[in-house]
Amino acid sequence: SHHLVVVSNALHSSSTGFRCRPRPSPPTTTTTTATATSTAGQRSLGASGEPRRPECEEARMSGAALCAALTELGFDGEDPLDADALEWPFQYEEARPLLAWICSCLRPSNVLSPSHLSQYEQLVEEGRLLEGEDLDSAFDSISAFSSKKDNQEAVFEAEETILDIREAKLAYRAEVFELQRQLARQQAQFDMLAGQASSLIQGRRARVSAMSAVSVQLISLDEILSSRNLEFLEELLLQPKNWHIIIQEMRTVYTWHIQTSIRMLLGIWLVQRS
């Protein structure tokens, strides 16, 4: 990447020359026939006698392609780049491989930015850039680049451990998914039982309320019957009758009282059963 920046800087420093240098004129011939023959030969063969590149490759290797590549790289100078002024280097066969490589390979992703270049130069000035044996030692200290057998075995074991961890992770995920399904199912059952319990509690409260109302009615009826019994006894005692008649009438009253109480208790029992 450092060499790519050097090439770009070299092009930047000589950009004025690219724009100002005139194109070299073709060699002068003595006759028109020789000129035509030379031109036809240049169309079919290169300077070294080899066949020329196809027209599509020639179209890619042009001043416009070089200008586009330099513009994409952020090449900037005092004056804007001129595609026509960059056409003349392509007339030299020796320069074409380098120019083709620049046009096809150089991208912002594989060229150092000015900030990266300044950091690199700072590392060089501080003597912190590893070279030679120091660089080899640094690579050997990293297990992924080491050629030692122990380190390679450690790498393989680490990879196997990673595979085991991934398999265990997948198994745990499946288990978690199953537990979540069970939890959702149990939550649905709990919600259903909670609804049933709520309805049962409401029914129980209704029965308790009904029992309370019936109990109040029983108490009031008991009080009414007791007061009537007392009045009836007083009337019987005041009237001149035989005692066996009084006892018979008292039996009749108490029998009615007992039957009424039994019917009310039976009603309470039916309410509780419902």
**pLDDT score at 173:** 93
Distance CA 37, CA 173 (A): 78
254-265 in b/e form (b: 16+ CB < 10 A) is eeebeeeeeebe
**pLDDT score at 189:** 93
pLDDT, tens digit, for every residue of 151-186?
Answer: 666 667 777 888 889 899 999 999 999 999 999 999
Secondary structure of the chain in HEC code, one letter for each residue: CHHHHHHHHHHHHCHHHHHHCCCCCCCCCCCHHHHHHHHHHHHHECCCCCECCCHHHHHHCCHHHHHHHHHHCCCCCCCCCCCHHHCHHHHCCCCHHHHHHHHHHCCHHHCCCHHHHHHHHHHHHHCCCCCCHHHHHHHHHCHHHCCCHHHHHHHHHHHHHHHHHHHHHHHHHHHHHHHHHHHHHHHHHHHHHHHHHHHHHHHHHHHHHHHHHHHHHHHHHHHHHHHHHHHHHHHHHHCCCCHHHHHHHHHHHHHHHHHHHHHHHHHHHHHHHC
Distance CA 15, CA 82 (A): 9
* Contact between residue 150 and residue 40 where contact means Cβ atoms under 8 Å apart: no
Q: Low-confidence residues of the chain, pLDDT below 50?
A: 1-59
Distance CA 25, CA 271 (A): 122
**pLDDT score at 170:** 92
pLDDT, tens digit, for every residue of 77-94?
Answer: 667 778 888 888 888 888
